[in-house]
Structure 1
């Protein structure tokens, strides 16, 4: 087994602490996540003022973000957070090469590979950035309850937002900023919240599994394995839990897609209530005290339908699903 030099481990640990601190994760949770005592974390943070100096020096010399990231062993989003420090949202979008959609249809053919890991159900960082730009302010605290591949915390770094991210899959070596937590809204655990903190999020960004889409790729304990009834019941209980644990002014961005069991079923034979559509989500949200202000269409790419699949669908008059929505809500 190859041994990693102590100085490299120290550098890696400093980078992890810096990233988590940059995302607004408190010292006690950083210590719990990484292992060192809180006093050690505090000592590391005292060194954080000079840690960015070498990457910043290289950026000033004209090196690209990817070059600086590779040289110093930092993730691209961390270097972007330095390169864009002090910039407004408009300038951040421009530097990142993201055109701003000023209407309620956001569509991208592919994800920005600089942000987030290769992950089932990966969503475009561009979509997260649009939500942040329109519905949050710089340095706001964002909550991502099901962070998956880390697109949201990565995008928050580039956009100058703090982020508390959680996921049932624990990856301490590669994603220490995504804290492990499994949401259990059964009767015994219905009030369980992942952290005890006075500060509460300004925006919740919730992108759960879209019912059983990609179910085979998710953990067997994922909500994608639930029945339709249990899935909707989970969402209802979860929306109540969110409301109990956030501020009255907290906004909620709920991302989900229409689900219809269209495979091998011609469109004319589909039945009412045979799927889960946007009205089902809106009914549950309103019932639990969340009221929508915007419904933004953010369709999934059609590239996932191969020519062979499209040909078969055409022959049988099967109507597939690309509909996906970003529903923005508040508590009135």
Structure 2
């Protein structure tokens, strides 16, 4: 609602800071030092520092080894990208999805952005990003728009974007069923009963399909869920879990067909020695599995 002349005036003033940042970077100051000095975030400075470089060069500058096989594994999240958040994914994981299944300048949609790993990584890899989350953090995360995928009204889910432009890639890392449910907002889908959780995903996949391009790819990240904490491995039942097969069935039923299933296991370091000892005594088989399923709309 601002006057165009006012915006033009402020844009002119905003053109100066990057020159100062570039000067500091050229003098050998680190990205972290430049970010702290100018009050920018690390990903914003990385975006400036890596301008014009190829994806491979960006990976090299960021210190990320490029995995050229279908198992992507890291012990830790890169703390330069994204906030501390329940179920946070490594920026390296998001970066590999962007590297293999998008190109610079592409528009990426992150419908449940959480701690902001995807928009941060998009900055570093020269991708544009629409990101949404139910928690409004205007002062710290203005690029993540507040939006709740409301399942309580009984009405159809709505699409948050009014623009005619459609994304080239959807990176969908939803809160996993029952995992860290207590850490999420009470409206999170992680708190839904199992049947409703799966029904939400089915409705969501249909909604996405009707609001994207025919060539849009979907990167769906999720993990096997088994109630292993209380059950010895030999006593687990088929209907007590949600496995990769269940997600694949829903995806195919809604018109999404997978081209890749990539293993991206969670770090086993989250199981401390005491937990491991108790699991061993009770013959419990834990879960560190996680998968990146890449899909498109062509059989």
Q: 1:264 aligns with which of 213, 230, 239?
A: 230
- Separation (CA, whole Å) in 1 of partners of 2:42 and 2:267: 25
Deviation per residue, 1:50-70 (Å, 9 max, x gap): 331111110011111001001
- Separation (CA, whole Å) in 2 of partners of 1:301 and 1:273: 26
Q: 1:297 aligns with which of 252, 258, 263?
A: 263
Deviation per residue, 1:179-221 (Å, 9 max, x gap): 0000125675425111210111000000001101000100011
Contact 2:157–2:204 at 8 Å: present in 1 too?
Answer: no
Contact 1:185–1:238 at 8 Å: present in 2 too?
Answer: no
Q: 1:234 aligns with which of 197, 200, 213?
A: 200
Q: CA deviation at 1:38?
A: 6.4
Query: What residue is the counterpart of 1:7 in the other structure?
Result: none
- Separation (CA, whole Å) in 2 of partners of 1:302 and 1:38: 54
Write the mapping of 1:80-229 to structure 2, written as runs, cut at 5 A.
Answer: 80-185=46-151, 189-229=155-195
Matched length: 298
Query: Structure 1 residues 323, 56: CA separation in 2 closer, same or farther (over 3 Å shift)?
Result: same
Query: What residue is the counterpart of 2:211 in the other structure?
Result: 245
Query: Structure 1 residues 39, 168: CA separation in 2 closer, same or farther (over 3 Å shift)?
Result: farther
Q: CA deviation at 1:274?
A: 1.1
Deviation per residue, 1:61-82 (Å, 9 max, x gap): 1111001001001100000000
- Separation (CA, whole Å) in 1 of partners of 2:119 and 2:204: 21
- Separation (CA, whole Å) in 2 of partners of 1:309 and 1:214: 17
Deviation per residue, 1:110-166 (Å, 9 max, x gap): 000000001111110000000000000001000000000000000000001000100
- Which shifted more, 203-212 or 179-188? 179-188
Structure 1: tracts of 5 or more residues without a match: 1-30
- Separation (CA, whole Å) in 2 of partners of 1:284 and 1:45: 47
Query: What residue is the counterpart of 1:319 in the other structure?
Result: 285
Matched, 1:274 2:228: no
Query: Structure 1 residues 269, 134: CA separation in 2 closer, same or farther (over 3 Å shift)?
Result: same
RMSD: 1.4
User: TM-score scaled by structure 2?
Assistant: 0.96
Q: CA deviation at 1:41?
A: 4.1
Q: CA deviation at 1:43?
A: 3.9
- Separation (CA, whole Å) in 2 of partners of 1:241 and 1:164: 16
- Separation (CA, whole Å) in 2 of partners of 1:117 and 1:37: 34
Query: What residue is the counterpart of 1:16 in the other structure?
Result: none
State the secondary structure of the residue aligned to 2:240. Answer: coil
Structure 2: tracts of 5 or more residues without a match: none
Query: Structure 1 residues 224, 70: CA separation in 2 closer, same or farther (over 3 Å shift)?
Result: same
Query: What residue is the counterpart of 2:34 in the other structure?
Result: 68
Query: What residue is the counterpart of 1:309 in the other structure?
Result: 275
